[in-house]
Chain A
């Protein structure tokens, strides 16, 4: 019997937990192997020996490629580097890379999860030459719309900011490009929650999914402001008929058009756009009603009145009744709307 209890105890030992004590090193396991070593010197095998610093253009390209980096600090830093590179260049000199190269890696960052990256991105976008942006509006807008309906409220807010920037740089293009009018308006309604009658009511479930807590009120104000800008760009009466008249009256040579030509500009290849035949949609997907281009103010207003007018008016009424900052912002939108309606009636 004695031997059996001994054996039992021995066996038990394997399964007993080693006790840990404060202030004492952890006991080493049985199979511990010492792998530390000592060395007199450390040699680096490879070392960069170039004496000249990389050129600013190559640095610019390098930082462009770093925009897809995993760490958000890296992305932010690259963005700030690009921003300084763009803003510090002498006026009227072209950017180190053409805008068509710079934009594609930038755009996905509109949906970036880190807010510092997005603010930095906005700075960079502002630093881009405005004239180049006009040709890329159709490319930028889907990202902005994706941002406007993003789950995270912060992303929505910064997308609204980006839209505001885009409107200020290329307003007419934003509302006239393919899908720019209806789809963007839809996004606005969705952000504001104005789609249906019951969701527009002030008593409706405002604490909707994933709303920002403290900044909630601020968001609505900002959205309303940008909506006003957007509507202004889209359906406000054009203020520069004189400029058009100029084109009407005089040819490029400066001389007036001779008699039989009436409004020749309508028959000419439009100036001031890089893709004059885009509306023909020769190579793209077939478009539906939502994705269609609405190039003239009348078109846009017609669509707006058919589809969005009731929802927007209802929403504005709700916002006005809410009062405060929201109410004030809604008044701005109402004004734009009123002017547009008056003009077209």
Chain B
């Protein structure tokens, strides 16, 4: 019998991946086959659902394969598979405890796949997966589901923020945390929220509310999770952002170059397109305004209530189940809230009383927390006993140097925030420790001294006050701040701008050969400045008649009038016809001469142009950089004041320089510390070496000379052997040819072209 010819379709092995591939290419023709497989799946599902626990291996495998197959092509036949997602969800929710592991994971994966194909919406998917995440005892399943949920939330928020979904999910999490305060299920909410916070997907108050509720839970794990979020979540977020901006630095030039050299394929061309797109995206990102991200602590609705209940629930009661470490975390959070929002929890300070002894474990953390809890609105008489206690317990000749250092540092940190808590006898005692032999103690005492030179020199002994402070005292510039007195706010760095302007003006005057303190042409250039920025605002032309009426823009008019007015008042030299202003001028100049009037009038007397604002920004950054340069002592001491309000005070800062205490460190430790500060050996390379390295790292080629130098000896040997046997004539010819070549610049010559 003749062998029958097989059609192309019959030849292939009939398996699901093959069918899937074919369906992808031509869904219409294979609808019958798909329908058959769907019935197959239905029957297998029926068999399985009849007895989920006693399903056979082969049955499970075929069910798994069918689920995989159908979910991959479900988008081609939405009509046939409309019940499919719901069926999967049912199987998963009802039987996830008894399902075979691989089948379970396959179902989860298929559901996510269906979500990607948009056959299921995110809310349904999350509402299915989340309860399983909480209830399942399987670790692998939990990890998988957690990852999938996170991924889904991320993808849902990529293009635009999906407010609806976020709200639903946040409500679910909130309910999870609040419904049963004793269970540890809230941990999942915390984990999820923290991850999403880190990736800046959720940055709103509702998120913070979930964590707040977690902090007030009764399960210690949940509490610690919530507290840790408030203490470290924002830092984590910043770091994650830095990381993401650091990576994928694509050098498009290099990519182009490589494409020019290597074989040209479509893939390569695509890669260059991709690189270009990435660079463009990055550029756009750079130009975008920085998204306003409030820290979690700022987004809290009722910080006072929150801090109070935290304190009452976890610290004050004896019933609290937290251990010391956990309590410290809570305490840190409470005190940070108190310090940041300037809250009043009066019990908090007496609570500290018990813990302020050198024997207390991790007492530095307590000290740091105490300092954190202090702000300028705390009544000094609440703090005074605490400072007294620290001084008595910690700071004495008999106590170990670390202890004394920690005590002094803590006192200083408290006094930075509330100087009124210190009295002069105690201060003068403490300042005496600057004569201590121990370096750590000495430095700490000096810190305290320099602090009070700034904030309360009259409390110091006369000889300790120093030059600046005594002069300040005499002139009356340095006054003790009263309780609750607030500094008048201004624009940060405005005095720098003023100073800079002054200098510029002087320079210009000097160029023109005029006395440096006349001030008439300043206005002109300022007006030029304005003109450069907005055209409507031409004030000069009001005399000449080129007036442009801009009625619609009220704001500009307003600014115009103000400008005029202030010029009238402060700089009347141009419009001297107004007699009344002369007295004003006098008084003002008197004011200027007073050293006391530190407050800059620049911002109130004129409108800052955008150019001014740009300059201001520049000056500010310059000043910040200057402050960081070592050796600039007077600036350095202020670093504490310049610390950002959001930054926590850590135990390390309280421990301070006690590492410097002599005799404590072993030799190895000292070597290690010395190495820490040592600059890298790499920095001291020769210029050529550095240049070479750079060239290599950029993937550039070597010079001919280098090639010659690096040539393998064995390649040159043969020629060298032959050289010995040359006759004189040959040698001459060779030399001549060499000379000639050198002149021409190589074999091919360097001329022409």
Contact = CB atoms under 8 A, between A and B. Distances in A.
Contacts of A186: 39
Contacts of B31: 195-196, 199
Nearest to A108: B56
A209 B43 contact: no
Contact of A213 (B10, B16, B56): B10
B39 A142 contact: no
Contacts of A314: none
Given A108-B56, A139-B50, A211 B37 contact: no
B35 A111 contact: no
Contacts of B131: none
A152 B49 contact: no
Contact of B32 (A179, A199, A291): A199
A186 B35 CA distance: 9
Interface in A153-205: 179, 183, 186-187, 190-191, 193, 195-196, 199, 205
Contacts of A210: 10, 14, 19, 33
Contact of A190 (B6, B22, B30, B35): B35
A213 B4 contact: yes
Contact of B42 (A104, A183, A285): A183
B155 to A, nearest CB: 33
Nearest to B58: A108
Interface in A290-312: 291
Interface residues of B, number: 32
Nearest to B33: A209
A208 B10 CA distance: 8
A232 interface: no
B47 A146 contact: yes
Main secondary structure of the interface of B (DSSP, over half): helix
B39 A183 contact: yes
* Most A C-beta atoms less than 10 A away, residue of B16, B46, B49, B58: B46
A142 B531 CA distance: 86
Contact of B40 (A108, A150, A179): A150
A214 B43 CA distance: 28
* Most B C-beta atoms less than 10 A away, residue of A104, A151, A207: A151
B590 to A, nearest CB: 93
A111 B62 contact: yes
Given A139-B50, A213-B10, A146 B44 contact: yes
B9 interface: yes
Contacts of B36: 149, 190-191
Contacts of A207: 7, 9-10
Nearest to A205: B29
Contacts of A145: 39, 42-43
Given A190-B32, A213-B6, A149 B39 contact: yes
B343 to A, nearest CB: 56
A223 to B, nearest CB: 13
A191 B35 CA distance: 10
Contacts of B33: 208-210
Nearest to B80: A195
A142 B9 contact: no
B685 to A, nearest CB: 36
A68 interface: yes
Contacts of A151: 14-16, 19, 37, 40
A257 interface: no
B58 A111 contact: yes
A285 B46 CA distance: 10
B305 interface: no
* Most A C-beta atoms less than 10 A away, residue of B36, B54, B59: B36
Contacts of B4: 213-214
A142 B31 CA distance: 22
A13 B537 CA distance: 91
B306 to A, nearest CB: 47
A207 B16 CA distance: 17
Contacts of A213: 4, 6, 10
Q: How large is the interface on A (under 10, 10 to 19, 20 to 34, 35 or more residues)?
A: 20 to 34
A199 to B, nearest CB: 5
A209 B9 contact: yes
A142 B32 contact: no
Nearest to B57: A68
Contact of A68 (B49, B50, B56): B56
* Most B C-beta atoms less than 10 A away, residue of A108, A148, A207, A209: A209
A213 B7 CA distance: 9
B264 to A, nearest CB: 36
Contacts of A179: 46
Interface string B1-12: 000101101100
Contacts of A139: 50
A142 B50 contact: yes
A83 B332 CA distance: 78
Given A150-B40, A183-B42, A209 B35 contact: no
B39 A187 contact: yes
A150 B41 CA distance: 10
Nearest to B30: A209
Contact of A143 (B15, B35, B43): B43
Contacts of A150: 40
Contact of A149 (B6, B29, B37, B54): B37
A278 to B, nearest CB: 13
B32 A195 contact: yes
Interface in A108-130: 108, 111
Contacts of A199: 31-32
Nearest to B6: A213
Contacts of B39: 145, 148-149, 183, 186-187, 190
A205 B10 CA distance: 12
Contacts of B30: 208-209
Nearest to B717: A1
Nearest to B5: A213
A139 B22 CA distance: 34
A208 B43 contact: no
A12 B7 CA distance: 53
A256 B40 CA distance: 50
A143 B62 CA distance: 12
A148 B10 CA distance: 19
Contacts of B47: 142-143, 146
A195 B35 contact: yes
A108 B46 contact: no
Nearest to B714: A4
Nearest to A191: B36
Nearest to B11: A213
Interface string B49-71: 11000101011001000000000
Contacts of B46: 142, 179, 291
Contacts of B10: 207, 210-211, 213
A108 B50 CA distance: 14
Interface of B: 4, 6-7, 9-10, 14-16, 19, 22, 29-33, 35-37, 39-40, 42-44, 46-47, 49-50, 54, 56, 58-59, 62
Given A183-B42, A208-B30, 13 more contacts: A142-B44, A149-B39, A151-B40, A152-B14, A183-B39, A183-B43, A186-B39, A195-B32, A207-B10, A210-B10, A211-B9, A213-B4, A285-B49
18 contacts: A104-B54, A108-B56, A111-B62, A143-B43, A145-B39, A145-B43, A146-B43, A146-B47, A149-B37, A149-B40, A179-B46, A183-B42, A186-B39, A193-B32, A196-B31, A209-B19, A210-B10, A213-B4
Closest 7 pairs (CB-CB, A-B) = A210-B14, A146-B43, A149-B36, A149-B40, A145-B43, A149-B39, A209-B33
Interface of A: 68, 104, 108, 111, 139, 142-143, 145-146, 148-152, 179, 183, 186-187, 190-191, 193, 195-196, 199, 205, 207-211, 213-214, 285, 291
